[in-house]
Amino acid sequence: MQAEITREWVTYRQAEEIAGLSRTTLRKLVDGDDLKVRRVGRAVRINRASLDAYMNGEGPGASEEGE
């Protein structure tokens, strides 16, 4: 049995699959400083913990529907 590896930093494509959000939405969240990102040259990596916190309603700017 292999152990599952959880990466600390993910690509836009991986973040789309994890969160079920579109790239456009992810870019808006990045531009609004709702997600932590690092740029390495032209590559962008999104911090997995900040993505998880946002999806759980814990991150900055995160809001739940109905509030």
Residue 4 is predicted with a pLDDT of 74
In the Cβ-directed half-sphere of 64, how many Cα atoms lie within 13 Å?
6
CB 7 within 8 A of CB 48: yes
Share of the chain above pLDDT 90, in %: 75
Residue 47 has pLDDT above 70, yes or no: yes
Q: In Å, how far from its chain's centre is CA 11?
A: 9
Residue 63 has pLDDT above 70, yes or no: no
Task: Share the mean pLDDT of the chain.
Answer: 88
| SS3 category, 47 | strand
pTM, full prediction? 0.78
